Amino acid sequence: MYKYKKILSLLALPMIMAFFASCDEIDAPYTEDGGTDPVDTTKVIKKVLLDEFTGIKCVNCPKGHEITHEIMEDNPDNVVVIAVHCGYFAMPQGDKDYDFRTADGNAWATTYGGMSASLPKGMINREGLSDGTHLLDREEWYSGAEQALKDEAEVKLELKATYDAATRTITAVVDYEYLVDFEQYHNLIVCVTEDGIIAPQTGAEDDPDNYVHNHAMRGCINGTWGEALTEKSAQKTYTYTIPADSDWIPENLTVIAIIQDVDKTYEVLQAEDDQFVK
């Protein structure tokens, strides 16, 4: 009897193990079939704000930049990007290194956790995640952006940015209108980013000493957390004079307007960008 118990046990164990052996094997082609949904051009789109926490000494950050580029290409005009250089990986260490860090970017990075995180990390509409954080790994950005683009817009936002070369003054005119009612309105943050900055980047495949940095956060022109809105719709105008000793190239600047809950959820309700030179 004891002998049979052993034999039965030996036979039963592989069956129990087989119960746990679920698997899907995928054969080529590995890509999904194409297919797009028809676009309703009259609808107010809720654009996606992608904050990319990055650094010049972060070897994986160029891969993050590639994903950002892919998201923008696949969703033209619907994605707004800010590259916030922060933390250990953004510290310049050689004479050729460029210091992309800004006080406003550091404040954001501290609030959202990017300052001490391994990079790159990103945020889609600065939304809080189930684990209480805001940061996504780079492979989560694309699907996160896709998902967020399905959200209904709650605010309509228009931005017109101009630049006066004589006075080196940026003017941003923002029109907003809430499409749904809220008990309390949110904050309007207006900031500036710059494309085309040539500087070293660790991990770049080609010519790492002359990497093209895009969407680099330059600063906020109405404060790190912007201005609290008090009306359902209004027009706001902000001006900012680029300091004389600054190396910003106006043709490469982008002005960004964000409507965000800065008190509770940190969620971005709408974002818009505009360049001076079209």
Partner 1 sequence: MFKKILVMLVVAMFGFGELAAQEILEAGKLSGNFQMDAQLYNKDDIIEAPEVGEKILSNGFLNLNYTNNKISAGLRYENFANPMLGYDPRYKGSGIPYRFARYSGDVIDVTVGNYYEQFGSGMILRTYWDPALGYDNSLDGIRAKLRPTEGLEITTLIGKQRMYWSQAKGIVRGADMNISVNDLLGDILGDEYRLDLGASVVSKFQEDTDSKLVLPENVLAYSGRAALSGSDFSLDAEYSYKYNDPNATNDYNYNPGTGLLINAAYFPEGIGISVSFHRVDNMDFRSDRAKHEMDANINFLPTLTKQQSYRLATAYPFATQPNGEIGFQAEVNYLVPKKSMLGGKYGMNLTANFSQVNSINKTPDYIDPDNGRVYTYNTNFFELGEELYYREFNLEVQKKWGKKFKSTFTGIHSTYNKDVVQEEGHHIFGMVNSTILIADLTWKIARRKALRLELQHMWSKNDSTVLTPDNINGNWMYALAEFTIAPAWYISVWNEYNYGNEYEERQLHYPNASVAWIHHTTRVACTYGRQRGGIICVGGVCRPVPASNGFALSVSSSF
Confirm or reject binding of residue 225 to partner 1 (CB under 8 A): no
Nearer to partner 1, 139 or 231 (CB): 139
Confirm or reject binding of residue 16 to partner 1 (CB under 8 A): yes
Confirm or reject binding of residue 131 to partner 1 (CB under 8 A): yes
Q: What distance in Å separates the CA atoms of residue 180 and residue 270, rounded to the nearest whole number?
A: 13
Confirm or reject binding of residue 129 to partner 1 (CB under 8 A): yes
Confirm or reject binding of residue 202 to partner 1 (CB under 8 A): yes
Nearer to partner 1, 203 or 250 (CB): 203
Phi then psi for residue 124, to 5 deg, are -105, 110
Nearer to partner 1, 63 or 168 (CB): 63
Applying CB under 8 A, which of residues 22, 41, 42, 230 lies at the interface with partner 1?
22
Nearer to partner 1, 22 or 230 (CB): 22
Confirm or reject binding of residue 75 to partner 1 (CB under 8 A): no
Confirm or reject binding of residue 21 to partner 1 (CB under 8 A): yes
Confirm or reject binding of residue 67 to partner 1 (CB under 8 A): no
Applying CB under 8 A, which of residues 143, 167, 210, 237 lies at the interface with partner 1?
143
* DSSP letter (8 states) at residue 265: T
Sign of CA dihedral 194, 195, 200, 201: positive
Nearer to partner 1, 9 or 41 (CB): 9
H or E element in which residue 189 lies: strand 187-194
Confirm or reject binding of residue 36 to partner 1 (CB under 8 A): no
Least separation, in Å, of the C-beta of 60 and partner 1? 6
Phi then psi for residue 177, to 5 deg, are -150, 125
Q: What distance in Å separates the CA atoms of residue 8 and residue 198, rounded to the nearest whole number?
A: 71
Stretch that binds partner 1, among 56-64, 150-158, 164-172, 255-263 (CB under 8 A): 56-64
Nearer to partner 1, 131 or 245 (CB): 131
Cα-based torsion angle of the residue sequence 143, 109, 200, 242 in order, rounded to the nearest 10 degrees:
110
Least separation, in Å, of the C-beta of 208 and partner 1? 8
H or E element in which residue 67 lies: helix 61-74
**Neighbour tally for 131: CB within 10 Å:** 7
Q: What distance in Å separates the CA atoms of residue 133 and residue 126, rounded to the nearest whole number?
A: 10
Phi then psi for residue 117, to 5 deg, are -85, 160
Q: What distance in Å separates the CA atoms of residue 252 and residue 197, rounded to the nearest whole number?
A: 9
Q: Are 270 and 156 in contact (CB under 8 A)?
A: yes
Residues in the site for partner 1, rule: CB under 8 A?
2, 5-6, 9-10, 12-14, 16-26, 28-32, 57, 59-60, 87-89, 91, 93-94, 97, 110, 113, 115-118, 129-133, 135, 137-140, 142-143, 146-147, 202-203, 208
